[in-house]
Chains A and B, each alone.
Chain A
Amino acid sequence: MKVLVANRGEIAIRIMRACRELGFESVAIYSDADQESLHTRYADESIHIGATPASESYLNAEKVLQAAIDSEADAVHPGYGFLSENAAFAQSVEDAGMIFIGPLPHTISLTGDKLAARRIAREAGLPVLPGPDEAIIDEMPAALLKKVTYPVLIKAVSGGGGRGIRLAHNAAELDEMVQAARQEALASFGDDTVYLEPLVQQARHIEIQIIGDGHSRILTIGERECSIQRRRQKLIEEAPAPSLSPSMREKLYTAARDLGIALNYRSLGTVEFLLDENGAFYFIEVNPRIQVEHPVTEMVTGIDLVSAQLRLAAGQPFKYSQDDIKMRGSAIEARIIAEDPENGFLPATGEITYLKEAGGPGVRVDSALYTGMQITSDYDSMIAKLIVWAEERQTTIARLRRALCEYQIGGVPTDIDFIIQIIDSDSFVQGSANTTYLETFHPSVTEGDENLEKELALAAALLEHQSRSTTPTIDGNSKTSHWQYKSWTEQMR
């Protein structure tokens, strides 16, 4: 089988690695900005599809489809983001006689319409958040406005990945937040229809991994907890969910399986739930694709989800039954994001000048980083994922801390230090953090940090001192190394 991977970055490489292990050929696509990117070097073939903006390359369904046809691919794997939840694209792939590695296009349309997904979940017997299932297309209907209870979430009907969502605390904020949600939804999904959903306070985000064969056979492959979020973007994910009772776990598995059966689900999917402080749970949405955080499930179950997905697409039956799927130990993933703590944690850009990735027992790095890579504002700011596994959760946390300290990225600031501070905090260690934890999280400075900072200050002063004394003409802008100066001064003797 020949698989065109319609994505970039770490997930493209992740999928190609699975292809290689299965003996499948892989085809990369790339934009102008990705001429040298690792996924193009890793693939068996690479096809240039367009200019740097995603709308002219990775999000351009026609160009991606043409690349698949030109490369004579048998199948297209969309990864996550970009075209992965675009039903029309999935349909066009299948219409062209290729396999779309994901759910049926019809399923993607249903899960992509959040109001339709709520309806199907309700019919399948899942608890769904109460709320007016009313699409707000233009003006806010006056009747709806009267019924709103605050705080309320405004969510894009075509949304996903935490985008196109805003929170209004009161009626005064509602209008501005509706406009903001619409604007982001239009830019991200091409549809500015929104709906309202009550906010679950003190919520925990728990999701169930499912895989279906498209013939009503659904397996659940454990759960993941993704409560550590910022600006509605997941930052740290783990499996299994800490402090989830066995009975609640069973309830969630059953609900996810029921929904999978109702959708006659094919391929990998994730059913997301919110758990409130009273032990109630609510369906939020189905993600009809591989998730960013899938490695934690792979670490605790030993199942290679992407290979399973590829084998299924190639027409091979499941290799295992529900009873074969067991979780062992504890796994945590940290998303490494290019962002600047000194600039309000806004995404950061620049060149990767130095790279030393973490290693050792129980450590997995899913990354597409290389020295000399330019991090630009054109694509997502998540640049790598660090995943660790250990026998039990406290050891996993210690191992993650160790691996984060090993992970050295020069040239662009990242969230590595911030993540270390989160996983060191009591709430995280106890496994009790909810989705609002980071809104009020204040990192504490430790003695070790102070000593390190002192050493760094000294090193900077020493370097400045050396550069001044080596040659009086050297200035900070010089790209020439200290060694080149040394050889230069030696020649002058």
Chain B
Amino acid sequence: MTLYYVNIGSNEYKIEISKNISKINGETIQAALIELGERGLFLLKNANIKRELHMQSQGNNQYVMTANGKYVVARVEKSNGLARRKTNKAAAGELRAPISGIVVSVNVQVGDTVAEGDVVVVLESMKMQMLMRAPVGGVIASIQVKPGAQLSKGDLLVKIE
């Protein structure tokens, strides 16, 4: 028997997998996963129910899944008896790009004092402009971007101390 913890959104599922039998949160299910000819396409067969789903690994035990109008990201962790690691929360004073796009303007300079909620950077992505506000009040410690810069999701914009 192998124990996995699967996180989807804010829900966590405890899943035990043995040779022919699985348990979800303690409930027994006799299900099999069948890979279809098309890459990433699977059938989850559960008694008389066949569910078609698409699953794609994103690395780090993370799977992107599509089924019946739903799109979910599932994080799978194998339990090894140790305490499970918690995902790192972003440092409070770091403002990061929530999406890939272009920097329209940087409204602050290093050393400026900002209040929480002040507009620090303006981003544009898919024709939409987004006002990036200071997550905390403080002094601008560093600025990592310039107007016109191309950004990827998660890139650091500004550090506030």
Interface residues of A (CB under 8 A from B): 163, 176, 180, 183-184, 187-188, 231, 342-344, 346-349, 353-354, 376-381, 404-411, 413-414, 416-417, 420, 449, 452-468, 475-478, 481-483
Contact = CB atoms under 8 A, between A and B. Distances in A.
B126 A187 contact: no
18 contacts: A180-B131, A184-B129, A188-B127, A344-B98, A346-B99, A347-B99, A347-B126, A347-B128, A349-B153, A381-B128, A454-B25, A456-B74, A458-B13, A459-B33, A463-B42, A464-B61, A467-B57, A481-B39
Given A183-B122, A347-B128, 6 more contacts: A183-B104, A405-B69, A411-B56, A453-B70, A457-B15, A464-B76
Main secondary structure of the interface of A (DSSP, over half): helix
B69 to A, nearest CB: 4
A117 B64 CA distance: 47
Contacts of A344: 98
Interface residues of B, number: 68
Interface of B: 2, 4, 6, 8-9, 11, 13, 15, 17, 22, 24-25, 29, 31-33, 35, 38-42, 44, 46, 51-74, 76, 78, 98-102, 104-105, 119, 122, 124-131, 153
Contacts of B66: 354, 408-410
Most chain B CB atoms below 10 A, which of A163, A346, A458, A482: A458
Contact of B24 (A163, A454, A463, A481): A454
Contacts of B55: 459-460, 463
A292 to B, nearest CB: 13
A476 B59 contact: yes
A410 B40 contact: yes
A410 B64 contact: yes
B57 A377 contact: no
Contacts of A463: 33, 42, 55, 57, 63
Contact of B54 (A183, A347, A354, A405): A354
A405 B101 CA distance: 30
Contacts, number: 178
B79 to A, nearest CB: 11
A126 B100 CA distance: 43
Given A354-B56, A408-B66, A461 B17 contact: yes
A302 B102 CA distance: 42
Nearest to B57: A476
A377 B69 CA distance: 23
B123 to A, nearest CB: 10
Contacts of A406: 69
Contacts of B100: 349, 376-377
Contact of B129 (A187, A354, A464, A482): A187
B5 to A, nearest CB: 9
A460 B65 contact: yes
A332 B104 CA distance: 36
Contacts of B22: 458, 461-462
Contact of A377 (B51, B56, B74, B101): B101
A465 B40 contact: no
A417 B40 contact: no
A475 B104 CA distance: 39
A196 B139 CA distance: 35
Contacts of B68: 405, 452
Nearest to A413: B71
Contacts of A414: 71
Given A347-B99, A461-B4, A464-B78, A477 B72 contact: no
Contacts of A459: 33, 42, 44, 51, 53, 55, 65
B126 A381 contact: yes
B47 to A, nearest CB: 12
